[in-house]
């Protein structure tokens, strides 16, 4: 057979086609999370678009839970502008023992060769010990719940794990649970953790009785303020097999409450304290130790550890003169929240420009944190770094260092050094009875006084007349007192005059006339009008007659005068009453 150039081209094309096809096929493995506790769920996802024999083994300590989910799916690769169809298999399970396990690689032996995925190492730790109220006290209930917690007392910045544990003395139907979580009664950051894998039910012996238990709602809390806090109960609605009945029954349980004391950090915190609580370390590296004047190099500071890593602040970077920080540091973090808190590392990349040729030493960067185990502040330092800057000119900034765009024409307004603005305060006076009474009082007073004065002005005469009527008896009595004095002094003329005057004054004031108009005729008219009784009319006439007789003739004895005085007093009292009506 003759092999010419054409055959060679076909062979090359065929080879390239096969090669390209082989490149397109893939197998990938995803494992999540990479740090778990014994019994906590782990998800393993295998994706591939290749056909062939699958070679993948799971560690013996791994127990599948909740079944394996398989199917087809598709995704779009925008970079390659292609749609990829692939099949997947999702496995959920948990590890029975602590340790480090390797998962993967997944191998597929296809017609195009062997495809291999990456492998992962998973760290499985013993679950942290959670404390709770004594479950044996609830054994009178078929199903009951207790809130578990990692600690009863913590320092501020320290995490606490809370979990809802349910105990049952009857068989439960797993898929029918409705869980209402517990609530931490205070300001706190909250991170949901993986609880035990589905269907993972433990058997425990409490006071010799066998009970089953399971946990849900494992949550990591970072309380924000010191104080004593309450964790409100969780609720769970679940189906159970009632041994006395044929059908399933639904139970609604409510757990206990629990409390947590958050203590303030002790005094004496170092200047380099960065708000970290837990256990931390710091390291630093320089991109280079030799560069030219004007060049920029990267100084990478890595803070790693466990605790409240997500909440720490940046350490203070002290640079020698001649080195300046160029822009803000680039922050990269890889933080995982687990029962032990936030763990991982935060990497701060500073771009540092050398503006002067010299030999520099970057002093160790120091951070302090509060160690909850020893209950003391600890300080850690990075290593000392040396950088030599050469004096050659011409190179300024690395091209890959993008200058920070200054989009805003107005710069950020800086800090206020005086707290002068008034505080936001609720006005406690507003809407109080005092406020409303003092607001409405002037209006009411203005209205009342205004109406009163107006009434007084409009009824001036009437008021004066009423006043006259009211004072009639008083004036008549004053005149009777003068008459009594005249009687004592045996002054007959004054006596009879004041007696007569007292009668006329009373009648004139009571009837709204003047004294000169009061005659026997007036008295008769008043009697006819039934304003005074005929008896009093007669008495009055009799007194007036006696006064006339005395004035013009018979003076009368002292006894007679005394009798006239008494009768006048009585009749004036009665007239006052009669003319009031």
Partner 1 sequence: MIKVLFSSLLLFCSFLGLSQFDEGVDAYKNKRYKQAQIYFLKALEKEKTADLYYNVGLTYFQENNYVAALAHFEHSIKIDPHFEAAMINAGLTQDKIEADAIWSHPYTWVERFIYSVSSKYWIIAIYTCSILLAIALFLLLTSKKRRKLYLLIALTTVFVIPLSFYGLNELEKHINVKEYCYSKSKTTTLLLSPNGLEQPDKMEYGKRYAINKQSDNFFQIETEKKRLFWVEKEDVYYY
Q: Is 16 in the site for partner 1 (CB under 8 A)?
A: no
Q: Is 85 in the site for partner 1 (CB under 8 A)?
A: no
User: Do 156 and 218 meet the contact criterion of CB atoms below 8 Å apart?
Assistant: no
Q: Is 433 in the site for partner 1 (CB under 8 A)?
A: no
Among 16, 359, 446, 471, binds partner 1 (CB under 8 A): 446
DSSP state of 517: G
User: Do 404 and 327 meet the contact criterion of CB atoms below 8 Å apart?
Assistant: yes
Among 438, 485, 528, 534, binds partner 1 (CB under 8 A): 438
Which residue lies nearer to partner 1 by CB, 95 or 273? 273
Q: Is 273 in the site for partner 1 (CB under 8 A)?
A: yes
Q: Is 257 in the site for partner 1 (CB under 8 A)?
A: no
Q: Please state whether the peptide bond connecting residue 440 to the residue before it is cis, i.e. omega within 30 degrees of 0.
A: no
Question: In this chain, which stretch among 94-102, 165-173, 185-193, 392-400 interacts with partner 1, using CB under 8 A?
Answer: 185-193
Q: Is 429 in the site for partner 1 (CB under 8 A)?
A: yes
Measured from the CB of residue 144, what is the shortest distance to partner 1 in angstroms? 22
Measured from the CB of residue 383, what is the shortest distance to partner 1 in angstroms? 23
- Compute the distance between CA of residue 561 and CA of residue 487 in angstroms, rounded to an integer: 7
Q: DSSP E strands: which ranges in 196-340?
A: 202-206, 209-223, 227-232, 235-241, 248-254, 258-263, 273-286, 290-292, 296-307, 323-325, 330-338
Measured from the CB of residue 439, what is the shortest distance to partner 1 in angstroms? 5
First to last CA, the chain: 155
Which residue lies nearer to partner 1 by CB, 290 or 318? 318
Measured from the CB of residue 441, what is the shortest distance to partner 1 in angstroms? 8
DSSP state of 25: -
Q: Is 403 in the site for partner 1 (CB under 8 A)?
A: no
User: Do 165 and 146 meet the contact criterion of CB atoms below 8 Å apart?
Assistant: yes
Q: Please state whether the peptide bond connecting residue 193 to the residue before it is cis, i.e. omega within 30 degrees of 0.
A: no
Q: Is 406 in the site for partner 1 (CB under 8 A)?
A: no
Measured from the CB of residue 449, what is the shortest distance to partner 1 in angstroms? 6
Q: Is 421 in the site for partner 1 (CB under 8 A)?
A: yes
Among 129, 406, 410, 557, binds partner 1 (CB under 8 A): 410
Q: Is 274 in the site for partner 1 (CB under 8 A)?
A: yes
Answer positive or negative: Cα dihedral of 192, 193, 198, 203.
negative
| Bridge partners of residue 102, in order along the sequence | 121
Which residue lies nearer to partner 1 by CB, 78 or 429? 429
Among 414, 516, 529, 557, binds partner 1 (CB under 8 A): 414
Question: In this chain, which stretch among 84-92, 311-319, 336-344, 480-488 interacts with partner 1, using CB under 8 A?
Answer: 311-319
Which residue lies nearer to partner 1 by CB, 27 or 277? 277
Q: Which residue's entry shows tokens 């004031």? A: 509
Closest CA to 495 of 539, 551, 570: 551
Which residue lies nearer to partner 1 by CB, 231 or 547? 231
Q: Is 434 in the site for partner 1 (CB under 8 A)?
A: no
Q: Is 266 in the site for partner 1 (CB under 8 A)?
A: yes
Which residue lies nearer to partner 1 by CB, 203 or 413? 413
Q: Please state whether the peptide bond connecting residue 249 to the residue before it is cis, i.e. omega within 30 degrees of 0.
A: no
User: Do 396 and 363 meet the contact criterion of CB atoms below 8 Å apart?
Assistant: no
Q: Is 130 in the site for partner 1 (CB under 8 A)?
A: no
CA distances for 211 relative to 181, 205, 237, 380, 396, angstroms? 22, 6, 18, 48, 73
Measured from the CB of residue 496, what is the shortest distance to partner 1 in angstroms? 49
HSE, side-chain direction, 13 A CA sphere, residue 261: 4
> If you compute the radius of gyration of the chain from its CA atoms, what whole number of angstroms results?
54
Closest CA to 307 of 344, 338, 279, 334: 279
Q: Is 157 in the site for partner 1 (CB under 8 A)?
A: yes
Measured from the CB of residue 280, what is the shortest distance to partner 1 in angstroms? 14
Among 426, 516, 529, 557, binds partner 1 (CB under 8 A): 426
Q: Is 388 in the site for partner 1 (CB under 8 A)?
A: no
User: Do 373 and 349 meet the contact criterion of CB atoms below 8 Å apart?
Assistant: no
User: Do 64 and 154 meet the contact criterion of CB atoms below 8 Å apart?
Assistant: no
Q: Is 74 in the site for partner 1 (CB under 8 A)?
A: no
Which residue lies nearer to partner 1 by CB, 180 or 492? 180
Q: Is 156 in the site for partner 1 (CB under 8 A)?
A: yes
Q: Is 529 in the site for partner 1 (CB under 8 A)?
A: no
DSSP three-state, residue 152: coil
Among 23, 439, 529, 557, binds partner 1 (CB under 8 A): 439
Helix (H) / strand (E) containing 102:
strand 99-103
Among 81, 203, 373, 407, binds partner 1 (CB under 8 A): 407
Q: Is 460 in the site for partner 1 (CB under 8 A)?
A: no
Among 4, 406, 431, 462, binds partner 1 (CB under 8 A): 431
Q: Is 384 in the site for partner 1 (CB under 8 A)?
A: no
Measured from the CB of residue 189, what is the shortest distance to partner 1 in angstroms? 6
Q: Which residue's entry shows tokens 């055959």? A: 7
Q: Is 312 in the site for partner 1 (CB under 8 A)?
A: yes
- Compute the distance between CA of residue 479 and CA of residue 458 in angstroms, rounded to an integer: 33
Question: In this chain, which stretch among 105-113, 169-177, 297-305, 419-427 interacts with partner 1, using CB under 8 A?
Answer: 419-427
Helix (H) / strand (E) containing 504:
helix 492-511
- Compute the distance between CA of residue 36 and CA of residue 42 in angstroms, rounded to an integer: 8
Measured from the CB of residue 90, what is the shortest distance to partner 1 in angstroms? 21
Among 408, 516, 529, 557, binds partner 1 (CB under 8 A): 408
| DSSP output for 348-413 | EEEEEEE-S-EEEEEPPPEEEEEETTTTEEEEEE---EEEEEE---S--S-TTSPPPP---SSPPP
Query: Which residues form the interface with partner 1 (CB under 8 A)?
Result: 156-157, 180, 183, 187-190, 222-226, 264-269, 273-275, 277, 308, 311-314, 316, 328, 331, 407-408, 410, 412-427, 429-431, 435, 438-440, 442-443, 445-447, 449-451, 453-454, 457
């Amino acid at each position: 057979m003759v092999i010419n150039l054409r055959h060679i081209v076909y062979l090359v094309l065929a080879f390239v086609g096969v090669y390209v096809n082989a490149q397109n096929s893939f197998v990938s493995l995803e494992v999540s999370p990479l740090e778990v506790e014994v019994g906590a769920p782990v998800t393993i996802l295998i994706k591939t678009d290749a056909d062939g024999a699958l070679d993948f083994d799971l560690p013996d300590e791994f127990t599948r839970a909740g079944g394996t989910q398989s199917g087809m799916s598709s995704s779009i690769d925008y970079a390659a502008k292609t749609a990829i169809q692939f099949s997947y298999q999702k496995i959920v399970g948990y590890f029975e023992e602590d340790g480090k396990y390797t998962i993967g690689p997944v191998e597929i032996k296809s017609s195009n060769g062997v495809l291999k995925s990456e492998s992962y190492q998973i760290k499985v730790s013993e679950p942290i010990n959670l404390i709770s109220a004594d479950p044996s006290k609830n054994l009178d209930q078929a199903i009951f719940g207790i809130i578990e917690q990692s600690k009863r007392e913590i320092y501020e910045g320290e995490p606490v794990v809370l979990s809802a544990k349910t105990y049952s003395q009857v068989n439960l139907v797993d898929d029918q649970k409705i869980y209402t979580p517990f609530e931490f009664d205070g300001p706190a950051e909250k991170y949901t953790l993986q609880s035990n894998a589905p269907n993972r039910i433990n058997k425990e012996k409490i006071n010799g009785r066998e009970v089953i238990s399971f946990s849900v709602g494992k949550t990591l809390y970072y309380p924000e303020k010191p104080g004593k806090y309450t964790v409100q109960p969780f609720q769970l609605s679940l189906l159970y097999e009632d041994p006395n009945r044929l059908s399933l029954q639904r139970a609604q349980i409510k757990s206990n409450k629990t409390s947590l004391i958050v203590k303030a950090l002790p005094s004496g915190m170092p200047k380099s304290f960065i708000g970290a609580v837990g256990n931390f370390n710091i390291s630093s590296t320089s991109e280079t130790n030799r560069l030219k004047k004007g060049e920029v190099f990267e100084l990478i500071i890595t803070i790693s550890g466990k605790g409240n890593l997500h909440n720490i602040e940046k350490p203070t970077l002290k640079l020698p003169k001649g080195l300046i920080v160029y822009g803000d540091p680039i922050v990269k973090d890889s933080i995982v929240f687990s029962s032990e808190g936030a763990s991982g590392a935060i990497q701060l990349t500073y771009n540092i420009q050398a503006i002067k040729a010299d030999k520099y030493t970057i002093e160790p960067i120091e951070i302090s944190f509060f160690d909850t185990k020893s209950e003391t502040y600890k300080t850690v330092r990075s290593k000392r770094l040396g950088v030599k800057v050469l004096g050659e000119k011409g190179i300024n900034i690395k091209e890959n260092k993008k200058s920070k765009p200054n989009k805003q024409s107005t710069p950020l307004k800086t800090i206020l050094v005086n707290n002068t603005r008034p505080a936001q305060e609720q006005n406690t006076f507003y809407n109080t009875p005092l406020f409303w009474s003092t607001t409405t009082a002037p209006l009411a007073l203005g209205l009342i006084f205004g109406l009163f004065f107006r009434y007084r002005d409009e009824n001036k005469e009437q008021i004066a007349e009423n006043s006259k009527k009211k004072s009639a008896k008083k004036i008549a009595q004053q005149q009777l007192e003068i008459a009594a004095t005249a009687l004592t002094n045996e002054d007959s003329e004054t006596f009879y005059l004041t007696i007569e005057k007292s009668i006329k004054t009373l009648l004139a004031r009571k009837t709204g006339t003047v004294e000169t108009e009061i005659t026997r005729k007036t008295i008769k008219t008043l009697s006819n009008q039934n304003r005074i009784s005929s008896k009093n009319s007669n008495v009055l006439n009799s007194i007036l007659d006696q006064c006339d007789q005395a004035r013009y003739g018979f003076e009368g004895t002292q006894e007679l005068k005394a009798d006239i005085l008494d009768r006048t007093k009585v009749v004036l009292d009665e007239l006052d009453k009669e003319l009031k009506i």
